Amino acid sequence: MTKLFASLLFTAALLPAQAATLQPEKSDVTFTFKQMGVPVDGKFKKFEAQLDFDAKKPEAGKIAFTVDLGSVSLGDPSFDKELAGATWFDTKRNGKATFVSTGIKATGPGKYDVAGKLTIKGAARDLVVPITVAGGVASGSVPIKRLDFKIGDGEWADTSIVANDVTVKFKLAFAGL
């Protein structure tokens, strides 16, 4: 009986971590930027995430995240339409933003640095996203430079009106995490 139990434990240790399932109704993806020095908050209403993660072996984990850029909202339909246009997100040609992890490193209890590649409007940048995992929720925030991703072309490239700095915040609830 003991050999059978030990064999089962060994086999379970070799199995890959179970993929967690995103619960969009309990999750948020928001962003903040400044326009003429005043903070402006927005959100994305549609996004997907795939997570394969084991806290005992974080370095073996994988994260893929996709945002539907057409789901952007500043709370005003005319602003939302402007953001979807070619000058900003150009959702007709570039409807999705993606982040794909290349590595996960534990930095403390329930805290991780997730390295990966963020792609928006065809521009890809490497970045590290600090996250906290607690109670089935992965949360964090990451600063980006909008002009690195060609967000706000032409007259909107002037950072004295719309700041280059954008903070993206997320709270992603997963079943099975």
d(Cα 119, Cα 57) in Å, to the nearest integer?
Answer: 26
Please report, for the chain, the start and end positions of each structural domain, with discontinuous segments joined by +: 27-175
Q: Running DSSP on this structure, what letter comes out for residue 74?
A: -
Cβ-based neighbour number of residue 72 at 10 Å: 24
d(Cα 70, Cα 89) in Å, to the nearest integer?
Answer: 8
What pLDDT is stored for residue 107 in this prediction?
Answer: 97
Is the Cβ–Cβ distance between 113 and 104 less than 8 Å?
Answer: yes
pTM of the predicted structure, to 2 decimals: 0.85
What pLDDT is stored for residue 4 in this prediction?
Answer: 34
What pLDDT is stored for residue 111 in this prediction?
Answer: 97
Give CATH for domain 27-175: 2.40.128.110
Six-digit token pair at 150?
A: 């060609």
Instruction: Write the DSSP assignment of 81-117 as a string of letters.
Output: HHHHSTTTT-TTT--EEEEEEEEEEEEETTEEEEEEE
Is the Cβ–Cβ distance between 47 and 31 less than 8 Å?
Answer: no
Tokens 């399932």 sit on residue: 21
d(Cα 51, Cα 114) in Å, to the nearest integer?
Answer: 12
Is the Cβ–Cβ distance between 143 and 167 less than 8 Å?
Answer: yes
> Which pLDDT tens digits describe the chain residue by residue (177 residues)?
333 333 333 333 333 455 789 999 999 999 999 999 999 999 999 999 999 988 899 999 999 999 999 999 999 999 999 999 999 999 999 999 999 999 999 999 999 999 999 999 999 999 999 999 999 999 999 999 999 999 998 899 999 999 999 999 999 999 987
